[in-house]
Amino acid sequence: MKETRVDFQSGELTLEGVLAIPEGVPPFPAVIVCHPHSLYGGSMDNNVVCSLTETLTEASFVSFKFNFRGVGESQGEFGQGIGEQEDTEAAIFFISMLKEVDSKTVGLAGYSAGAGFAFPVGFKDTRIKALAAVSPAFDMFDFSYLKKCLKPKLLVLGSKDNFVATSDFLEFCQTLPEPKQCEIIEGADHSWWGYESRMAAEVTNFFVNAL
């Protein structure tokens, strides 16, 4: 596995990211992983994000994590969700143009608010073939547009999530069209400490089958 720190442009801003390329012969499928809310300490160094990218790359995916504007070395400041959608678009463009990536097999994953920021973009962007949300922040974002999403989609929640009730999660999942996969991991809360590997395995297995 080759891991490289990279810079890419989002409008006039320069953002930082980490690109991990697996062993083997390219091109590879790729997954972009979006971190949780920056105003609450979210960054690409988050435990869930790191576990996801590592597991994906071990499964022969190119993984790409990045800091939204105003986080770490990424320029700018928090964009009220609008700027973060622009950053997601920029990340999709960046990853799709790499020679190591099969641009026909690109997925998008988001953790907590990361899914809230990124999914409105991934839902519409034809380059994104599958979506995975870990602990989707139903308390902060409206995900109702997913009821029209015909792309393969995975939603994963911990049974002890601090912000989303399992009953609300399951009720929402029932409204989604196929293809879909909804998983509750027993014992995990919103932060996933101690459950990262199990969560990452679920998400990676989903992308193996979806891309």
Q: Residue 155: give its domain's CATH number.
A: 3.40.50.1820
Task: Determine the structural domain holding residue 194 and report its residue range.
Answer: 2-210
pLDDT digit string, tens, across residues 95-154:
999 999 999 999 999 999 999 999 999 999 999 999 999 999 998 999 999 999 999 999
| Number of domain units in the chain | 1
Query: Which uninterrupted H or E stretch holds 109?
Result: strand 101-111
pLDDT digit string, tens, across residues 55-105:
999 999 999 999 999 999 999 999 999 999 999 999 999 999 999 999 999
| Range list of H helices, the chain | 47-58, 82-96, 113-124, 166-174, 196-210
